[in-house]
Structure 1
Amino acid sequence: MSLLADSDGERIARIGRYQVLDRPPRADLVALVEIAALAADVPMAAITLVTDTEQHQVAAVGFDGSVCARAGSMCDVVLAGGEPVVVADAGTDPRFRDDPSVTGALGAVRSYAGHPLVTPDGTVIGALCVFDTRARELTSGQARALAGLADRVVDLLELELRTRELTATVEDLRRAQAELERSNAALAAFAGQVSHDLRNPLTALTMALSMLAEEGADEDAGRRFLLDRARNGTHRMQLLIDDLLTVARVGD
């Protein structure tokens, strides 16, 4: 794998969306860390997410996860290269021999292996790490297991994120449905009121036109034509009002 180091802004934004910092360790992530320790046959393992200045051990086994400075940390080396880092003896490695977790100030780590956590968009957000207090090599099978588990860590983070997003979408749809039902009810009430308000004057107009037609039965053809058109218009309007009243009754 050849991944360039991601900008802090992209990484921090992605980590923020996962909502795992400053919260109790998630049980599913802790379970994966425990599997990683068993697969590598080591006493300690952790999921570390790295921001611009700190690394957050959001799940750990064999020790209490904490927040510490990013600069000079083991996981920062993984982040910088975007590739797995495997160290048989950190005490002899110039990159790690002065690290507090190696010197004894914070711990006595000797062997270390970290695999980058890479999101679907290619952002490296941290590492899945395994540690031992004795120098030792990681077998090829253990390295493959660590890589697979690192992918599963990202899968779990993404699954929880998508679940939250889907839940929010469903809630939005429910609110939209409730608003649509309210609007339909209001529209039905309005349609009913309008149809009733129009029916009475239209009925009066229809009667007046009928009376004019009867009184002017012997009048000229032009007047008869205009009256017929007016009566046809009122008839069409009556049909429209009936349709509007039907909609109001159905409430659709």
Structure 2
Amino acid sequence: MSDDAGQDQQRDRVLATYDVVGAPLRHELQALAELAAQVAGVPFAAVTLGGSGDLHHVATAGFVGDDVPGEATVCGSHPLRTPGGVVIGTLCVFDTHTHEVTPVAAKGLAQLADRVVDVLELELASRRLSEANARLSTSNERLAHFAGQVSHDLKNPLTSVSLSLEALEMEVTDPYLVDTVARARRGVDRMTDLINNLLDYASQGSAPADDEVDLGAELTLALDDLAGRVRPEDVDAGELPVTRGDAVQLRSVLMNLLDNAAKFTHDGERPEIEVAARTRRGRHRIEVRDRGRGIPAEKRERVFAPLARLDKSVEGSGIGLATCRRIVEAHGGSMGVEARDGGGSVFWFELPAAAAPRPRS
């Protein structure tokens, strides 16, 4: 295959990816064509795409479609070059008589040619994002369905086991048997918690509610829910912002982070937990800082993976942080962890600053 044939095929593939030839008129391309005519000081302009086959005017100024004015003479053209270096067409300007294009006009046309490619790239990225969101939505639905089915299949036998253990607890008196039944009961309880956590993880990721959420008030409620596990006097909380989202889900994030901060305190030491926030560049950043055991740099991302438990000495399912990240990401945010100066960890999450309510679908 010759180099020219290979380039033509590559250009055809790129044009097919952009999906603009034969499609409805892009008003952004139309506006760029009209602007090109003004910059060049000529009556006609066109955004022309083509590969190994015909050339196509996908946007024009001063004439309609592929009907180039009879007396028009090509006055200037600039290649439309993709980020990958493939020339897919030209931005052309026409006039009824020949004349030179000024350096200023030539520079302006070159910039407009780049903007044409930017429009095509932006639409391609937008289309791919929509497709990815559709796949993600399907994936979330399948995950939720799978988790629901698994929980149904597991909870029924667990309920039977739990009832049997309750009956045994009332009957056995031998210390060894009492201890054995108690250990079995704890195992059933852990399995039940694991299933519930899996369901929570699977149910997150879809669009959350879009209400005004006072994170300071949610922190107070989270501490109430954690009574007996996290003492309010062990938590030094600053002022937290008001944002938009799902209050119950965001409270769950705060609860998980506070609970972890308390659980991973060094043995025999009192938890030292700080909750703080700051807002910059249109983002709220909330931090939960502890003086616990810390997390090695190479393992910090692993703690957000489902079922990841780096410290087996502390009870838990390893799903809480994974669920927190899914909740935060569903709110348009991000989440991570870093080392705290002086020892311990800083778990943080960022959310878009409060804005006008989003339309509900």
Query: What is the TM-score when the length of structure 2 is the normalising length?
Result: 0.49
Say which SS state the counterpart of residue 75 (structure 2) adopts: strand
| CA distance, structure 2, for counterparts of residue 190 and residue 248 of structure 1 | 11
Residue 169 of structure 1: aligned partner: 132
Change (3 A) 1:175 1:247: same
Residue 28 of structure 1: aligned partner: 28
| CA distance, structure 1, for counterparts of residue 157 and residue 49 of structure 2 | 63
Residue 119 of structure 1: aligned partner: 82
| CA distance, structure 1, for counterparts of residue 36 and residue 20 of structure 2 | 19
1:193-232 equivalences in 2 (<5 Å) = 193-202=156-165, 210=172, 228=176, 232=179
Shift of 1:43: 1.0
Further displaced range: 195-204 or 112-121: 195-204
Shift of 1:206: 6.9
Residue 160 of structure 1: aligned partner: 123
| CA distance, structure 2, for counterparts of residue 237 and residue 34 of structure 1 | 77
Residue 113 of structure 2: aligned partner: 150
Deviations 1:194-225 (A, max 9, x none): 211223455677788x47x59xxxxxxxxxxx
Further displaced range: 124-133 or 107-116: 107-116
CA RMSD of aligned residues (A): 2.7
| CA distance, structure 1, for counterparts of residue 179 and residue 124 of structure 2 | 63
Counterpart AA for 1:149:
L
Residue 133 of structure 1: aligned partner: 96
Q: Contact 1:45 / 1:62 at 8 angstroms: preserved in 2?
A: yes
Shift of 1:171: 2.0
| CA distance, structure 2, for counterparts of residue 249 and residue 16 of structure 1 | 47
Change (3 A) 1:52 1:185: same
Q: Which has the higher contact order (CA 8 A, sep 6+)?
A: 1
Residue 245 of structure 1: aligned partner: 192
Is 1:39–2:39 an aligned residue pair? Answer: yes
Shift of 1:187: 3.0
Say which SS state the counterpart of residue 151 (structure 1) adopts: helix
How many residue pairs get aligned? The number is 196
**Structure 1 unaligned regions, length at least 5:** 68-100, 215-227
Residue 179 of structure 1: aligned partner: 142
Identical aligned pairs, as a percentage? 35
Counterpart AA for 2:189:
D
Q: Contact 1:111 / 1:134 at 8 angstroms: preserved in 2?
A: no
Shift of 1:184: 2.8
Change (3 A) 1:119 1:249: closer
Change (3 A) 1:175 1:127: same
Say which SS state the counterpart of residue 78 (structure 2) adopts: strand
Counterpart AA for 1:12:
D
Query: What is the TM-score when the length of structure 1 is the normalising length?
Result: 0.68
Counterpart AA for 1:238:
R
| CA distance, structure 2, for counterparts of residue 131 and residue 26 of structure 1 | 21
Structure 1 runs (4+) greater than 6 angstroms displaced: 204-208
Say which SS state the counterpart of residue 7 (structure 1) adopts: helix
| CA distance, structure 2, for counterparts of residue 139 and residue 204 of structure 1 | 95
Residue 18 of structure 1: aligned partner: 18
| CA distance, structure 2, for counterparts of residue 129 and residue 27 of structure 1 | 17
| CA distance, structure 2, for counterparts of residue 249 and residue 141 of structure 1 | 67
Further displaced range: 4-13 or 199-208: 199-208
| CA distance, structure 2, for counterparts of residue 10 and residue 22 of structure 1 | 19
Looking at secondary structure, tell me which structure has more strand per residue: 2
**Structure 2 unaligned regions, length at least 5:** 201-361
Larger Rg: 1
Deviations 1:164-216 (A, max 9, x none): 111211222222222222233233323321211223455677788x47x59xx
Residue 54 of structure 1: aligned partner: 54
Counterpart AA for 1:54:
D
